[in-house]
Chain A
């Protein structure tokens, strides 16, 4: 427990130290606000402009989460199909890995072309960008299930769907949650990217306009908000992961008395 506390203390002081160093260096080197505003200025801007920023924060969060939800649904469905069928796995897996290495940024202009600018392309980008890691992980989790575990259920006369529900899916959960952490971050990146390119809402849009108006501290305020949101989303899913798939890591807490 004390180890845990120490780690937390260290990582907190690292973050605080980073911002302090930034502040101090800006003052010592006399850096212009137009190049790199000080953290304190950014905070003030964030506080003053918060009423304006708030709807944009909500916009970015909701497009991310909606796109992510679609992505997870599609990803899980595809992953189950690919993971449970040997043929589908052999045929589709290389294809999937190939697809997932395409830079998804490239789809943004296409979505804009099809759906105009705004919320729709942002949601679609968030969705497309997070589907592949989920499919690949679910499929891997299912396909690598030990046959012995399935045999246990087979001797009981379980149907294929019972085996999937009771062995395959629980077995794939650690893979699934590992991919969720990655996927939520990707969705977020996708949504912001699309907002930056083609939207009049969202933090990405705010940063874009602020930068063309030389409101540098607002740009940085946006950046820090994004970082915060990204970290929070990631943290939520890591927490979920730990709660649900604790069995895979075996909480190796040996009591010392």
Chain B
């Protein structure tokens, strides 16, 4: 895609390796068919997600918003195959989620860095596990991969912290490392669970820019969970609103503003109107 952003674009250090075949990408990236999730059995059963149907085309950027506890994280876990649906079907890249047709990068809501590894080693972990990087991990971990990790960390402002341990970083810094770990292996499908939650406004806007450039450049499919309506409006090509627990999708609208967007867009009348509408919808969803 194009890179006609009028903001100087920080580029990601990317040497694109073989990606998922076009035949797979052409199909819808994610398809939930009446998928529901119930935790536990009998009296203690909790419905985390009532039957939800949701379809995402390849290359779409979908923002998922909704009140706390409505099952947004649960949807991400379904797609990344951490949990199986209690009923219904979850297809990723046209196959069962367990088949792992797409290369997934996930940023968890809580940045769970492995405490015995430095930030650099943590961020490098996908390169150790995911094909095709895995094959050359031994040769490249001290060279190309390391440079790549450092460049990415630098881009999110963590250049000086590569050799620190997770407990030596602040919450927001951990979240940025978490984001790096989701991006480093150039996934086809990005699952981001409130990745900018613990950041100050300016850092957040900076990362929005990076995220947008990355999206426009590589066109991955992105499923972003967020509580920030401006974030959803700025980044997404489509916004889904979920109802209160047990959640289901109550609104599904494309964002018509042209991309790339610039931070000033946020203050434009159309944008404000859009977020106002979303806000009301969520307010209703909460009270119902």
Partner of A155, one of B106, B110, B114, B115: B106
CA distance A250 to B168 in the complex (A): 9
CA distance A183 to B244 in the complex (A): 54
**Residues of chain B lying within 8 A (CB to CB) of residue A171:** 116
Most chain A C-beta atoms within 10 Å of own C-beta, residue among B108, B112, B126, B129: B129
Q: Interface on B for A, CB 8 Å cutoff?
A: 80-82, 100, 104, 106, 108, 110, 112, 114-117, 125-126, 128-130, 165, 167, 181, 185, 191
A152-B108, A250-B167 in contact; A173/B129 too (CB < 8 A)? Answer: no
Partner of B116, one of A154, A155, A157, A247: A247
Q: Is the CB of B115 within 8 A of A152?
A: no
Partner of B125, one of A156, A157, A245: A156
**Stretch from A53-61, A75-83, A162-170 at the B interface:** A162-170
Chain A interface size, as a band, is 20 to 34
B130 to chain A, nearest CB (A): 5
Q: Is the CB of A156 within 8 A of B130?
A: yes
Partner of A166, one of B110, B125, B181: B125
A250 to chain B, nearest CB (A): 6
Scan residues 147-184 of chain A and give those whose CB is less than 8 A from a CB of chain B: 148-149, 151-158, 162, 166-167, 170-171, 173
Q: Is the CB of B108 within 8 A of A156?
A: no
Q: Is the CB of A148 within 8 A of B130?
A: no
Q: Is the CB of A149 within 8 A of B104?
A: no
Partner of B82, one of A151, A248, A250: A151
A155-B82, A247-B165 in contact; A148/B116 too (CB < 8 A)? Answer: no
**Residues of chain B lying within 8 A (CB to CB) of residue A152:** 108, 112, 114, 125, 181
Q: Is the CB of A157 within 8 A of B114?
A: no
A199 to chain B, nearest CB (A): 42
CA distance A250 to B185 in the complex (A): 29
Given contacts A152-B125, A155-B191, A248-B116, 4 further A-B contacts (CB under 8 A): A154-B82, A155-B80, A166-B128, A250-B165
Q: Is the CB of A155 within 8 A of B104?
A: yes
Q: Which residue of A lies closest to B77 (CB)?
A: A151
Q: Which residue of B lies closest to A154 (CB)?
A: B82
Q: Is the CB of A149 within 8 A of B165?
A: no
**Residues of chain B lying within 8 A (CB to CB) of residue A148:** 108, 110, 112
A153-B125, A153-B129, A250-B167 in contact; A170/B114 too (CB < 8 A)? Answer: yes
Q: Is the CB of A158 within 8 A of B116?
A: no
Q: Is the CB of B115 within 8 A of A247?
A: yes
B223 to chain A, nearest CB (A): 13
A152-B125, A247-B116, A250-B167 in contact; A157/B108 too (CB < 8 A)? Answer: no
B186 to chain A, nearest CB (A): 13
Q: Is the CB of A154 within 8 A of B125?
A: no
B131 to chain A, nearest CB (A): 8
Report A103-122 CB contacts with B as 1/0, cut-off 8 Å: 00000000000000000000
Q: Which residue of B lies closest to A157 (CB)?
A: B100
B163 to chain A, nearest CB (A): 13
Q: Is the CB of A173 within 8 A of B167?
A: no
**Residues of chain B lying within 8 A (CB to CB) of residue A173:** 116
28 pairs, A vs B, C-beta closer than 8 Å: A146-B112, A148-B110, A148-B112, A149-B112, A151-B82, A151-B108, A151-B112, A152-B114, A152-B181, A153-B125, A154-B80, A154-B82, A155-B80, A155-B82, A155-B104, A156-B125, A156-B129, A156-B130, A156-B185, A157-B104, A162-B129, A166-B125, A166-B128, A170-B114, A247-B115, A247-B165, A248-B115, A248-B116
**Residues of chain A lying within 8 A (CB to CB) of residue B165:** 247, 250
A148 to chain B, nearest CB (A): 5
A104 to chain B, nearest CB (A): 33
A81 to chain B, nearest CB (A): 23
**Residues of chain A lying within 8 A (CB to CB) of residue B115:** 247-248
> What 8 A-B pairs have minimum CB-CB distances, sorted nearest first?
A155-B106, A156-B129, A247-B116, A155-B80, A148-B112, A158-B129, A170-B116, A157-B100
